[in-house]
A and B are shown apart, each in its own frame.
Chain A
Amino acid sequence: MVSKKVEKLLLKVQKPGRYVGGELNEVIKNKHDTEVRFAFCFPDTYEVGMSHLGMKILYSQFNSVPYIWCERVFAPWVDMEEEMVKNHIPLYALESGDPLSDFDFIGFTLQYELSYTNMLNMLKLGNVPVTTEARGNELKHIVVAGGPCACNPEPIADFVDLFFIGEGEEVDLEVMELFRQCKKEGTDKREFLRRCAQIEGVYVPSLYEVTYHEDGTIKSFLPKDGAPAVVHKRLMLDMDKSYYPDNFVVPMVEIVHDRAVQEIFRGCIRGCRFCQAGFIYRPVREKSPDTINAQCRALCENTGYDEVSLSSLSSSDYSQIVPLLEKLTEWSGEEKVSLSLPSLRVDGFTDEIMNKIKTVRKSGLTFAPEAGSQRMRDVINKNVQHDELMQTCATAFAGGWTTVKLYFMIGLPTETMDDVAAIAQLGQDVVDTYYHTPNHAKGKSVRVTVSASSFVPKPFTPFQWEPQDTIKQLHEKQEHIKKSITTKKVQFNYHDADTSFLEAVFARGDRKLCRVMALACERGFHFDGWNDCFSLEKWMALFEECGIDPAFYANRRRSFDEILPWDYIDYGVEKRFLQKECQKAYENTTTPHCRLKCSGCGAAKYGRGVCFEKRQNMV
């Protein structure tokens, strides 16, 4: 619902449909009948935020509770922001049109470090003070955050009142219930936060005191007011009983992933050493094929979508993928619904799976070998062999595909220029495989796209102690790949190293970075994840002004005994396991995946999931 004042702006901006709400399945309640108003903020544009599954799950779940009204808020694109500021219109929620400052809770999902500035900017646009301190002690405007970046909340600790650590489905509601109780009792915000800290999975940064050594590393990290010394993540143990929406808000304007999304499992068995998701979501917990089938069908019926994407970190690792696809294709053809299976592993693309997804839609194929040389793939524990990749490509080519996208990373630990050149060689090998596949598409040429992003070391991975390559080194590696490609059939793309650098600074930053963030907000930084807005130069000037060396966070090798800013959080995977994995990386040694052999990471303590599956002798 938009006000007359907003309507006047809408015809002056691009894609005004992003700012009006009113979509099918949007939840409207009477605000006077609810006790908790929650503004679910996605710190990016509508098109990006509306594609995000976590938001859909929590939006529906919150609204399934009668006393909560959860609404959506997205970051307005720069043209709309300008108009809103000029016309004194505060950032508003799409459902009610009410400004952010009317809400009890203002919640952010943190998917990406470069969206931090958008989070602060959204608070500012909503007339909500950005720091915990400035928001005062009254029980309102509680700023909460969750999502993968919450695994190192420290660079934004001054701005967020409480973080949800791990999966939100249960802990969010416990906090809402506590709020409702505190509101009745008339307690202040500080007391509410103190009580929140007792809920497992809640981290309240203001209840911790950090001191530093002279060299800038952490000396101590101490809880106060009874807050726990270690914050344990929350997770859903039984995925079949876990809340899942049977309904999505169906956008009218085109969004990035415009389809129904069905989660099939959480976690990943693989343990690729660069991948944060592969560790923080452990252990792997699957939904049963019957649950998935029923949920999929309900979603399609209620939204009208004609495409469902099966979502997970690695769909071909779903233990019952073929029976599942059989169940789904029983009705999907008739209902004219197509299935898509993203995140396929190189070794998971079998004839059987191919034929199932081919019956409905043929899109491009994307694989992520991540590294060019076998040695490098062993270092990162990708567990993909060169021959497997060629075999898979041959299967795809024989099945009529002519374009393949390959994703790689550069700047990985121990990487040499030879490893980098091997990326180009791998592209060439795929081209050769095409011409060696006897029944490839007649009269068509092959196109191989090679994309290289820059490695960003992340918390809770075996590489959390590693330095990131400098921007200069990354540029040299990009050039080296470019030079090593000799065919026009291979197209090379690479990500901007500047943004990867800033990402690395904030991914492993500490509370000292809050000052930089505050200043960035003051200066109007926003949309740093977008090339239109990002400027490393401006950021470097901010760092200098604050007397902070960003290389301290991005490019420094940390020692195993250093206290890391996120050490107080427990994601189930133990630090000693990560250290062991790091050592094994240096020795080019791989670790088998969870279904082959338990490596004792620590996640078995939750008592469910893959750790307790019967192990078959599968390869």
Chain B
Amino acid sequence: MKNVRIWFKKDFECRYISHLDLNRTMLRALHKSKIPIWHTEGFNPHPFATFPLPLSLGFRGVNECMDVRLEDENFSFEEIKNRLNACLPRGLRVFDVTEAIMKAGKIAYASFTMLLSLPDKSSRLVCEQLGALLQNDTIEIKKKSKKGIKTVDIKPGIKSAAVTELFDCAKLDVVLSAGSSDNVNPNLIIAALTRATGCEYEADVTRNELYNSDMEPFR
């Protein structure tokens, strides 16, 4: 038995499926591919796969990963990639298969590229709005929880941020806290911006890379 990390991109139509849908689609592809991976042993055996860090619906992911347990340790990684790609919808593409070096719990940061625009407004304006927001000492948003609405400051969760003015949108490159404890979803930045300006933004968000607490790429 060997733990294997399968790296893939989630884009095009598959941007619009939820994590649960992604899970089901991947399990079905694994089943169809007949790659010798470990199955659960309950009443309804199914391929066992875990995702180190789920991606929100609507985001593109260019460096996503999924862990499986390979039963045949000599099974080639190249074969896994080829077989899976033949079984996946075009919006999900496996580009690499590696051994799982770090544990999923080591994930501490994630980098994103966010393209923001306002219909009929210049990208300079959006850049200025973003700049103003990010300069604040605190960035508060209202978060719905079971105990009602609470106010959270997301500023400590923004490790770095850079704004670039593009022709038709503002580009925000951010590194945000990620993982099971202090996760900051890029949508929260958009929500904070909307709260500050009253504008409804069009957003195109891509998750680029995951990192550990030392900012080493997650592998």
With A252-B17, A253-B17, A306-B31 as contacts: A23 and B45 at CB distance below 8 Å: no
By beta carbon, the residue of chain A nearest B203 is: A11
Please pick, from A15, A22, A338, the residue contacting B91 in the complex, using a CB distance under 8 A: A22
Tell me if A207 is interfacial: C-beta within 8 Å of chain B. no
Once the chains bind, are A336 and B24 in contact (CB under 8 Å)? no
Chain A residue with the shortest CB-CB distance to B16: A16
> Are B89 and A336 in touch, CB under 8 angstroms?
no
CA distance A360 to B88 in the complex (A): 26
A248 vs chain B, min Cβ distance (A): 11
CA distance A362 to B43 in the complex (A): 9
* Overall SS of chain A's interface: loop
A254-B21, A303-B28, A304-B31 as given contacts; A22 in contact with B45, CB under 8 Å: no
- Size of the chain B interface, CB-CB below 8 angstroms: 31
By the criterion CB–CB under 8 Å, are B13 and A20 in contact?
A: yes
Please, which residues of chain A bring their CB within 8 A of the CB of B31?
A: 304-306, 336
With the chains together, A477 CA to B57 CA distance in Å? 47
Q: Which residues of A contact B12 (CB under 8 A)?
A: 22
Would you call B219 an interface residue if the criterion is a C-beta within 8 Å of the partner chain's C-beta atoms?
A: no
Bound-state CA distance A432–B138 (Å) is 66
Q: Which residue of B has the minimal Cβ distance to A94?
A: B13
Q: Are A8 and B202 in contact, with the CB atoms below 8 A?
A: yes
Residues of A contacting B20 in the complex (Cβ-Cβ under 8 angstroms): 254
CB pair B46 A306 closer than 8 Å:
yes
Q: How far is the CB of A402 from chain B (nearest CB, A)?
A: 16
Q: Which of A2, A254, A301 contacts B24 (CB 8 A)?
A: A254
A298 adjacent to chain B (CB < 8 Å):
no
B32 — nearest CB in chain A belongs to which residue?
Answer: A304
A336 and B45: CB pair below 8 A?
A: yes
Q: Kindly report which residue of chain A lies nearest to residue B33, judged by CB atoms.
A: A304
Closest to A2 in B: B13
Q: Told that A10-B16, A17-B18, A306-B31 touch, could you supply 5 new A-B pairs with CB distance under 8 A?
A: A24-B25, A252-B13, A252-B14, A252-B89, A306-B46
27 pairs of residues in contact across A and B, judged by CB atoms under 8 Å: A2-B13, A10-B58, A11-B58, A17-B17, A17-B21, A19-B16, A20-B16, A21-B13, A22-B13, A22-B90, A24-B89, A252-B13, A252-B14, A254-B21, A254-B24, A258-B24, A303-B28, A304-B28, A304-B30, A304-B31, A304-B32, A304-B33, A304-B87, A306-B28, A336-B46, A338-B44, A361-B43
A interface, CB within 8 angstroms of B: 2, 8, 10-11, 15-17, 19-24, 26, 250, 252-254, 258, 301-306, 336, 338, 360-362
9 interchain residue pairs of minimum CB distance = A22-B13, A304-B32, A304-B28, A20-B13, A16-B16, A17-B17, A252-B17, A24-B89, A17-B16
